[in-house]
Structure 1
Amino acid sequence: MEGYRLFLALLGSALLLGFLSVIFALVWVLHYREGLAWDGDAAEFNWHPVLIITGFVFVQGIAIIVYRLPWTWKCSKLLMKLIHAGLNTIALMLAIISLVAVFDFHNAKKIPNMYSLHSWIGLTAVIFYALQLVLGFVVFLLPFAPVSLRAMVMPIHVYSGLLIFGTVIATALMGITEKLIFALKLPAYSSSPEEAIFVNTLGVLILVFGGVILWMATRPHWKRPCEQNSKTQQRNGGTLDENKEGSTMADCSNANKPDVEFANEAAARKRNAKFDEAGQRSTM
């Protein structure tokens, strides 16, 4: 990997920033606010920032860069797809629970729902995130989508994922500011009390975490290499077939083309199916 040390430094920074963000969120609600509970009171609302920062910010950020971890490049593409989808599913579940906590609290306290810009953009992000997850599962995990469709959807999938993540970061910052303005009266938020400084620091951590994740996700030289076909190559007398090896190198030279990568993946699946069928016949 080009720039391996820089990648490790950024990865360590992202993990540290993410963990600190979660810890700061917990300290905020446990020390400065009413704690955590599920009773329709303010402590139930506090689940919202904790779960959003844990799932929709931290877990989603890790899901975005999981393909870029170089020690996973030897793992099968299917396994990495399952890990990517699993992390995103966890993030979505935590986001949905956090929304339930907010609506339940608002309804118990007779507070209107969906009146702020934070709520508009936040709910929109959750809806599009769910659609993104379903679309990714149908197109990239199920074996029914044609190669041409996968190649067409891939750049849209990548762009929309980064857009949703950036939107979530912005929405979290809006929510933090909105909560402080409503909650801090004596002393007021404008007087910069201890809680305000602490939570503003949390906002900075979230912003920097998002910036590091987006930087790592948009560096082309840190992209996962194309799937090698060497696992499906036949050996002739203990050596690889030179023609097939040459075709594999040609395929990898076009790794930046989605249609070529998906075509190689589909071809590999077909060859594996044929080999399995041949093996079954030979044992009959």
Structure 2
Amino acid sequence: MPELPEVENTIRGIKSIIGKRLNKLIINNYNMRWKISTKLPNILQNQIVLNCQRRGKIILIYFQNGIQLIHLGMSGMLYRSDISSNKKKHDHVEWLFDNEIIRLNDPRRFGYVLWHSNDSGSIELHPRIKNLGIEPFSNKLNAEYLYKIFQKKNTEIKQAIMNSNIIVGIGNIYASEILFNAQINPFKLVKELSLKECSRLIFNIKKILNIAINSGGSSIKNYKNMEGVNGSFIYKYAMVYNLEGKNCKICNSLIIKKTQKQRSTYLCPSCQKFNI
């Protein structure tokens, strides 16, 4: 699933459409995670793009009359095409501008394309937005903030940092890498974390996500950036993810894989000591 670094790279890639007029929206398949409104092509025709932003893993494209919400789901990606190029299999939505086409390709159709009109109020009130937690790069995300939240929770730390109601944008790949770098065991309960550990955790959340963004994200299955280029984080910087049986680059112990809430969790039992 595309996580925050992949979505951030997508946002940077589509900023070229800011200020451009959308000539036509083509819906090739209305049946995404939620059915796309049949009214959307008419609503967006000839609208000018005012801005492109990200909230968690949700792409927000601001038009004159409202905001389009795009989620890439499990296997989706946006990519840029020449105006004369043919669409590919699984290209479900196409945004046609004068000199380029932006296409949403999503083989599994777990993504969505929704609409929030200007007369619906603030985008922060949208059902997909209103319950989202803090952004990882927000100045408000500090050790005291996280420690206070964690004291009220009885969940394991890996599940907590992947909970978008607490912190947005962190998925399975980066959760494993963040916790390894923070030297925190993924199975430790959040209410048992010290203030110092919370501080170390936040430092590594920002560090790993920044490295991943600057590496173009991670390409394991479907993801490529807007220009069709693979992300290199996994290949260049991963310390534990998908490295079961390999030697830890810090202590030389073997990386292990555990199942945690039906997901694969990778860790070094020496660097992340804890009774599991």
Q: Which category describes the TM-score, using the shorter chain as reference length?
A: under 0.3
Higher fraction of helix:
1
Q: TM-score, normalised by structure 1?
A: 0.25
With CA pairs under 8 Å and 6+ residues apart, which has the higher RCO, 1 or 2?
1
Q: TM-score, normalised by structure 2?
A: 0.26
Higher-Rg structure is: 1
Higher fraction of strand:
2
